[in-house]
């Protein structure tokens, strides 16, 4: 099923990834940033309903100069005392948040429309590819994007799934194996009836009904370990 998921990502399709039992226990819609379009954004916000984010490989994040948001808050707490109390040291499923900055592309208007978010995300993918090919200039991120914005950036952990196994790292690992730029759009699937996350079995049923690939994080982990060994 991992091969099918990789092929779907390469074809610009959305796939579903369930992280793990005992973790978030959530299923995310996932698509390659460089292949995103407004229809993807519409589907994610209307049928998934969670927060639309872009997970970024740490090498791209380093090139862009992107910090973890917790680092920004820690740096600013001497001026704004309330920030010192906001440390996310009680996350029940993880030890650290992957959140970085929020951005809009400078060619967007409000930044929130399907068209605007698709433009921002696609341009992140394009610039990320450039960063990995050593053609990136240090000030390009700021020239192309403004912050705050409507697209949440997530910085994947160094060493990816060998360090952390959230949707951020799982999706980036999958993009690597697919030969795509490791910048990936993710969005949690929510349940309007219960007010909670969509249960795994419901997400699998949704995938079957809509002809989408559903995979589990443990399978991504196993395949990525073998991928690195090769």
Query: How far is Cα of residue 178 from the mean position of the Cα atoms in its chain?
Result: 16
At residue 92, the pLDDT reads 87
Asked about 193 being catalytic, the answer comes back as no
At residue 195, the pLDDT reads 97
User: What does each of the 230 residues of the chain score in pLDDT, given as a tens digit?
Assistant: 899 999 999 999 999 999 999 999 999 999 999 999 999 999 999 999 999 999 999 999 999 999 999 999 999 999 998 998 988 889 888 777 899 999 999 999 999 999 999 999 999 999 999 999 988 998 999 999 999 999 999 999 998 988 898 999 999 999 999 999 999 999 999 999 999 999 999 999 999 999 999 999 999 999 999 998 87
One of 57, 104, 152, 167 is an active-site residue; which one?
Answer: 104
Domains in the chain and their CATH numbers? Answer: 2-229 (3.90.870.10)
At residue 84, the pLDDT reads 87
Asked about 224 being catalytic, the answer comes back as no
One of 53, 105, 152, 216 is an active-site residue; which one?
Answer: 53
Q: How far is CA 1 from CA 123, 213, 217, in A?
A: 29, 8, 12
At residue 73, the pLDDT reads 92
For residue 101, give the H/E element and its range.
Answer: strand 99-105
For residue 76, give the H/E element and its range.
Answer: helix 69-76
One of 187, 188, 206, 216 is an active-site residue; which one?
Answer: 188
At residue 43, the pLDDT reads 98
> Strands 53-56 and 27-32, how do they pair?
unpaired
Asked about 93 being catalytic, the answer comes back as yes
Asked about 188 being catalytic, the answer comes back as yes
At residue 127, the pLDDT reads 97
Cα separation, 128 vs 181, whole angstroms: 7
At residue 230, the pLDDT reads 75
**∠ CA 182-183-184 to the nearest 5 degrees?**
110
Report yes or no on whether pTM surpasses 0.85.
yes
One of 42, 114, 115, 150 is an active-site residue; which one?
Answer: 150
Phi, psi values for residue 6, rounded to 5°:
-60, -45
């Amino acid at each position: 099923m991992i091969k099918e998921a990789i092929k779907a990502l390469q074809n610009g399709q959305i796939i579903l990834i369930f992280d793990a039992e005992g973790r978030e226990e959530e299923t995310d819609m996932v698509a390659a940033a460089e292949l995103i379009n407004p229809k993807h954004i519409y589907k994610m916000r209307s049928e998934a309903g969670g927060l639309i984010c872009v997970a970024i490989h740490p090498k791209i994040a380093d090139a862009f100069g992107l910090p973890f948001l917790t680092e920004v808050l820690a740096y600013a707490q001497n001026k704004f005392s309330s920030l010192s109390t906001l440390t996310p040291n009680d996350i029940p499923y993880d030890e650290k948040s992957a959140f970085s900055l929020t951005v809009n592309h400078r060619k967007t208007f409000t930044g929130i429309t399907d068209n605007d978010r698709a433009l921002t995300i696609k341009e992140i993918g394009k610039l990320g590819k450039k960063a990995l090919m050593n053609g990136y200039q240090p000030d390009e991120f700021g020239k192309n994007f403004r912050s705050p914005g409507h697209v949440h950036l997530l910085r994947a952990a160094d060493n990816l799934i060998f360090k952390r196994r959230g949707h951020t790292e799982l999706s980036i690992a999958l993009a690597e194996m697919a030969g795509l730029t490791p910048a990936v759009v993710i969005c949690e699937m929510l349940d309007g009836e219960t007010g909670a996350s969509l249960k795994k079995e419901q997400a699998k049923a949704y995938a079957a009904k809509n002809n989408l690939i559903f995979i589990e994080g443990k399978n991504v982990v196993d395949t990525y370990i073998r991928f690195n060994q090769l």
